[in-house]
Amino acid sequence: KASPPSGCGTSRVAHCVLFPAQVLVAEDNVDFRIHVENQTRARDDVSRKQLRLYQLYSRTSGKHIQVLGRRISARGEDGDKYAQLLVETDTFGSQVRIKGKETEFYLCMNRKGKLVGKPDGSSKECVFIEKVLENNYTALMSAKYCGWYVGFTKKGRPRKGPKTRENQQDVHFMKRYPKGQPELQKPFKYTTVTKRSRRIRPTHPA
């Protein structure tokens, strides 16, 4: 029995390798795309976290992901209270933790690749790498089990991680705000100070 692909080590696909920040010396034949992608995989424990409220619409089930306590499904209607998700993201990188607003359970993937809800989201099993695909859908890959994705069948049942691939429709999702719910994170407003009056005047970014 093969062991789960714990972590994103060098024995796995190159784009999953995690490295700390480092200084690169300009050399011939250096692929800086790999360096940039590695940096987006790194955790940022210094910058302010961003909290978003939205739903994840499943391309296969035609419904939304629900965190029903320890049980996970993709059968939620638009606006369903169990389909409203609180998503914590880093201002640097693409790693997220997803919590059901109603149940306060986190979406996690265990070592068998099963999607489960947990009351404590501190484990790396509850961290996912958010990937925006060429078709504008979003895929969520486990940060601990490289190559395993959040996925659902047409009936909204969770797929196990080892049976998922990035190009499968089962792992494609679309972010949607719940009916009547404004975005939690308000746009940041810039301010300028004039030399003549020194008064602060709010402006909006172009």
Give the domain CATH number at 167: 2.80.10.50
* Amino acid 5: pLDDT: 78
- Give the start-end residues of each E strand in 9-148: 50-58, 64-68, 71-76, 85-89, 95-100, 106-109, 115-118, 128-132, 138-142
Alpha carbons 105 and 203: distance in angstroms, whole number: 39
What region does 15 belong to: left with phi over 0, alpha with psi -120 to 50, or beta?
A: alpha
DSSP strand pairing (50-58 vs 200-203): unpaired
Element (H, E) at 192: strand 190-193
Indicate whether 66 pLDDT > 50.
yes
C-alpha–C-alpha distance, residues 120 and 75, integer Å: 24
> Rounded mean pLDDT of 24-44?
49
Structural domain count, the chain: 1
Per the domain annotation, does 204 fall within a domain?
no
Per the domain annotation, does 69 fall within a domain?
yes
Distance of alpha carbon 47 from alpha carbon 31, whole angstroms = 27
Radius of gyration of the chain (CA): 19
Over residues 155-192, the pLDDT tens digits come to 999 999 999 999 999 999 999 988 766 554 444 343 44
Q: Is 192 exposed, middle or buried (0-12, 13-18, 19+ CB in 10 A)?
A: exposed
- Angle value at C-alpha 112, between 34 and 94, nearest 5 degrees: 30
pTM of the model: 0.70
- Asked if the structure places residue 34 within a domain, the reply is no
Domain range for 142 is 45-176
Q: Can you give the pLDDT at residue 142?
A: 97
pLDDT beyond 70 at 201 = no
Question: N- to C-terminal Cα distance for the chain?
Answer: 56
| 3-state class (DSSP) for residue 170 | helix
Q: Is residue 51 part of a domain?
A: yes
- Using alpha carbons, select from 181, 186, 4 the residue that is nearest to residue 84: 181
More confident: 99 or 34: 99
Cα separation, 149 vs 129, in Å, equals 9
Asked if pLDDT for residue 62 goes beyond 90, the answer is yes
Determine, yes or no, domain membership for 96. Answer: yes
Does residue 38 sit within a domain? Answer: no
pLDDT number for residue 89? 87
Q: 89-127: per-residue pLDDT in tens?
A: 876 668 999 999 999 999 999 999 999 999 999 999 999
Whether residue 150 is contained in a domain is answered as yes
pLDDT digits (tens, 9 = 90+) for 1-26: 556 776 665 444 444 544 444 444 44
Assigned domain for 74 exists: yes
